């Protein structure tokens, strides 16, 4: 991915190493700067790699930007490295979901709102993609939506109305993949038959199940292990149903 900007007498050519990124990738690239003129003493030019809340950006809210990496630029012909490791950030990059984005922003005098930007296309990592396919293949779930929720990915799943999943009215899954560990927060809504004032009624109960998995719990030989993952998913479903039955 490439982008060229001309600002304050400087020509900036940004070259990113990939067109599409996974949200656990180390973002890498180069910025090549060529000066047509010296920067004025009162001008500060910087490359800023930011997470952007596109809703706030539309409203011209300065809080739309969260800076992840900032490199102050000087006049001359120079090359700068872009290198952003999500493990050092402590969270995955946001995925491009129409609400949030990651972008390279060329700011002038700390003005991000009006600065030119190059938005990155970021999708869930292959580990997350493969994990979700297990729900589709073995549990007959379908994916309704995938979006950012704070520093995690929220996946809403439509569950089948027959078979072992019939008691599950809805399921939302929060996924956090960090430092090769996988945290899964299942948010079930379970259908439950209860006796009420008018007789037999159907009640919906919210049950949360959290799994914190080390790499060995879901990977084998560098690839996602379907059987290990299916076992963990089965455990989560069983735990939710048992908790609902006991309440």
Given the structure tokens 């078979």, which residue do they identify?
163
Instruction: State the total domains in the chain.
Output: 2
- pLDDT recorded at residue 58: 93
Q: Do 213 and 158 reside in the same domain of the chain?
A: yes
- Look up the CATH number of the domain holding residue 112: 2.60.40.1930
Q: Do 187 and 152 reside in the same domain of the chain?
A: yes
Domain boundary among 102, 123, 144: 123
- pLDDT recorded at residue 197: 65
Q: Do 133 and 238 reside in the same domain of the chain?
A: yes
Q: Which two tokens stand for residue 93?
A: 């990059």
Q: Do 144 and 161 reside in the same domain of the chain?
A: yes
Q: Which domain holds residue 91?
A: 2-123
Indicate the pairing of strand 2-7 with strand 78-84: unpaired
Indicate the pairing of strand 168-178 with strand 152-158: antiparallel
Residue 169 CB neighbour total at 10 angstroms: 17
Q: Do 59 and 159 reside in the same domain of the chain?
A: no
pTM value is: 0.82
Indicate the pairing of strand 45-53 with strand 10-16: unpaired
Q: Do 98 and 160 reside in the same domain of the chain?
A: no
Neighbouring residues of 55: CB distance < 8 A, sequence distance ≥ 6: 64, 99
Task: Give me the DSSP letters along 62-96.
Answer: GGGEEEEEEEEE-SSSEEEEEEE-HHHHTSPPPP-
Dihedral sign, Cα of residue 37, residue 38, residue 40, residue 46: positive
Q: Do 6 and 104 reside in the same domain of the chain?
A: yes
Q: Do 143 and 157 reside in the same domain of the chain?
A: yes
Q: Nearest Cα to 97, choosing from 168, 47, 152?
A: 152
Kindly give the confidence (pLDDT) of every residue in the chain, 247 residues in length, as a single tens digit, with 9 standing for 90 and above. 888 988 878 888 999 999 999 988 999 999 888 877 777 777 888 888 999 999 999 999 999 999 998 988 876 768 889 888 887 777 778 999 999 999 999 888 888 998 989 999 999 999 999 999 999 999 999 999 999 998 889 999 999 988 878 888 899 999 998 888 999 999 999 887 776 666 777 788 899 999 999 999 999 999 999 999 999 999 999 998 888 777 6
Domain boundary among 72, 98, 123: 123
Euclidean distance between CA atoms 197 and 29, whole angstroms: 66
Q: Do 10 and 109 reside in the same domain of the chain?
A: yes
- Look up the CATH number of the domain holding residue 229: 3.90.1150
Q: Do 8 and 119 reside in the same domain of the chain?
A: yes
Contact 93, 66 (CB under 8 A): no
Q: Do 157 and 75 reside in the same domain of the chain?
A: no
- pLDDT recorded at residue 178: 83
């Amino acid at each position: 991915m490439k982008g060229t900007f001309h600002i304050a007498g400087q020509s900036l050519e940004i070259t990113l190493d990939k067109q599409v990124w996974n949200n656990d990738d180390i973002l890498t690239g180069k910025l090549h700067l060529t000066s047509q003129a010296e920067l004025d003493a009162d001008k500060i030019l910087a490359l800023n790699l930011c997470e952007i809340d596109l809703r706030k950006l539309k409203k011209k809210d300065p809080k739309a930007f969260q800076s992840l990496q900032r490199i102050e630029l000087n006049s001359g012909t120079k090359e700068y490295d872009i290198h952003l490791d999500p493990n050092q950030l402590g969270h995955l990059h946001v995925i491009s979901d129409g609400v949030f984005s990651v972008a390279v922003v060329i700011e002038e005098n700390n003005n991000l709102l009006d600065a030119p930007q190059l938005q990155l296309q970021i999708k869930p990592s292959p580990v997350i993609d493969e994990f979700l396919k297990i729900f589709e293949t073995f549990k007959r779930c379908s994916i309704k939506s995938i979006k950012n929720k704070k520093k995690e990915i929220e996946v809403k799943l439509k569950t089948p109305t027959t078979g072992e999943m019939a008691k599950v009215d809805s399921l939302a899954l929060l996924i956090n993949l960090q430092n090769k560990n996988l945290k899964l927060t299942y948010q079930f809504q379970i259908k439950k038959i209860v006796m009420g004032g008018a007789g037999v009624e159907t009640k919906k109960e919210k049950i949360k199940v959290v799994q914190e998995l080390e790499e060995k719990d879901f990977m084998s030989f560098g690839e996602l292990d379907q059987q290990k993952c299916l076992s963990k998913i089965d455990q989560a479903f069983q735990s939710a149903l048992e908790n609902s039955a006991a309440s």
